Amino acid sequence: MRFWELDFLRGLGIILMLVSNFVTDLQIFLKYPYSPFWHAFAIFTASIFVFTSGATFYVHYTLKRSFRRILRRFAKLMAWGSFITLVTFILFKRGTIYFGILHFLALSWILAIPFYHAKFTIPIALLFIILYPYVTSIHAQTYLLLPIGVTPYNFYTFDYFPVFPWLGVFLMGFEFGKSVVKRCSPYRKSFLCSIGRNSLKIYLLHQPVIVSILLAIFGDRSGILTIKI
């Protein structure tokens, strides 16, 4: 069963993501100047995805409390995330995505289960966000702690979504998920809903397309690729 509110938010997130990642690619490959605005824009865009995923978890877990279903989703997202890790490790000299948004979303569907029955979800969510600066101030020369936000010194990656603070954003989506379940309104077809239903496919395909076009036209001015264009 699909809910138009969730598909609509995903669709909106995808549109914003295409813009945000295009600018990020310009910064990486063409040395486009860094802008605080686009950094804030990227965080806002990612927040929509994570928030919507939290709402989706709440709705699906409420309607069908199947741990097997959650494990399937975990395996699917983690498999794609691992594939992205492998590709970025092979193609780029630095910036390998060890724990990007797909890795996080896969893990968050497991971590969120204990919080489903929590009476004070928002305070718990805020705790993950508030503790973020403290967790990220800790460093360790291992990648095993990347999921919680502890990184090696001078760690660099193209995409990174640790549990602190992003699980907080995920849990905030529970409140929206509750309202979706209560309303259970008829599905409304729209352009954004159509995009939202195919969000994973678009996410997996958009970067190879954008990067290929940029490299074909301008080449790799950053020298970050392991092969010469």
Q: What's the pLDDT tens digit per position in 204-220?
A: 999 999 999 998 998 88
Q: Which run of H or of E encompasses 57? A: helix 36-63
- pLDDT score of 65: 80
Mean per-residue pLDDT for 69-87?
A: 96
Is the pLDDT at 229 greater than 70? The verdict is no
Average pLDDT for the chain: 94
- pLDDT score of 226: 86
Query: Which are the contacts of 79, defined by CB distance < 8 A and separation ≥ 6?
Result: none
- pLDDT score of 31: 87
- pLDDT score of 80: 97
71 SS3 class: helix
pLDDT over 70 for what percent of the chain? 99
* Geometric angle at alpha carbon 77, from 10 and 134, rounded to 5°: 80
Is the pLDDT at 228 greater than 70? The verdict is no
CA gap 107, 84 in Å, rounded: 16
> Whole-prediction pTM value?
0.94
- The residue that leads in pLDDT, 133 or 222, is 133
Is the pLDDT at 140 greater than 90? The verdict is yes
What DSSP character marks residue 148? G
Residue 151 exposed, middle or buried by CB count within 10 Å (0-12, 13-18, 19+) = buried
Give pLDDT tens digits for 190-207. Answer: 999 999 999 999 999 999
- pLDDT score of 15: 96
pLDDT over 90 for what percent of the chain? 81
- pLDDT score of 174: 96
Is the pLDDT at 64 greater than 90? The verdict is no
DSSP-assigned states of every residue in 109-126: HHHTGGGTT-S-HHHHHH
- pLDDT score of 1: 78
159 SS3 class: coil
- pLDDT score of 166: 98
